[in-house]
Amino acid sequence: MIGRSRRDAGQAFPIYVVMVAGLLFLVFAFFAVGKAAALRNGAQGAADAAALAAAQQNREDFEAGFLASLPGDMLEQFLQAHLVNGCSAAQKFAAENQAELNGCWPTLGGYRDRIKVEVKGDKPVDSSVLPGSENTFAKATATAIVEFRCGWEALDFNDDGVKDLYIFTCGSAGVVEIAPGSPPPWSEVSKILYDVHLVDN
């Protein structure tokens, strides 16, 4: 009986070893999947931040052209033909969020401009149970909109062809009055005139 018990124990030991090895593999695999998901979320956060930064940079850069278009009543032309970029801001914010900017694609849309970015995370998945993961990096894309959301009325008090006052009605954002000769600080009015937000890619 004693000899048989020892034989049974000896036969069961390899099974235990295989079971323990399998459990360890599953633990490492779950860890790798969790790490990959965390890196993916981090990359998405970096992409969102980069796209919003690019859109906000565009809004700031609109100041000179926007205000210059007012006296001669050329605002409509400016809105349809202004420059859109902001990719330098996207690169900076991607780096600050541990990612690299892979691409930045601004698209002029008149009242509604789009900026799409793609980023790659700085850290690889690098798991011993996932072959090739040492060269696998999380990637993500995001798109932001810079949207002019106001209607306006232009007033020429002297009938000389030069507009003296613009009244912008911007829905729930409020009403803004801009005298071309003495405009208010752009940092105050630009956030009312232009909405910046993320949209689905």
Closest CA to 168 of 155, 157, 158, 181: 155
> In Å, what is the CA distance from 25 to each residue of 12, 20, 132?
20, 9, 17
130 has pLDDT over 70: no
Tens digit of each residue's pLDDT (9 = 90 or more) over 67-104: 999 999 999 999 998 888 889 999 999 999 999 999 99
**What is the distance between the alpha carbons of residues 54 and 116, in angstroms, rounded to a whole number?**
9
Domain residue spans of the chain: 2-199
Write the pLDDT tens digit of every residue in 192-201: 999 999 999 7
* pLDDT tops 60 at residue 25: no
Percentage helix, strand, coil, to 5, in the chain? Answer: 50, 25, 25
How much is the average pLDDT of 32-46? 80
**If we measure between CA atoms, which residue out of 28, 106, 39, 111 comes closest to residue 75?**
111
**What does 33-49 look like in DSSP terms, one character per residue?**
HHHHHHHHHHHHHHHHH
Mean pLDDT of 23-51: 76
Report the C-alpha gap between 121 and 41 in whole angstroms.
10
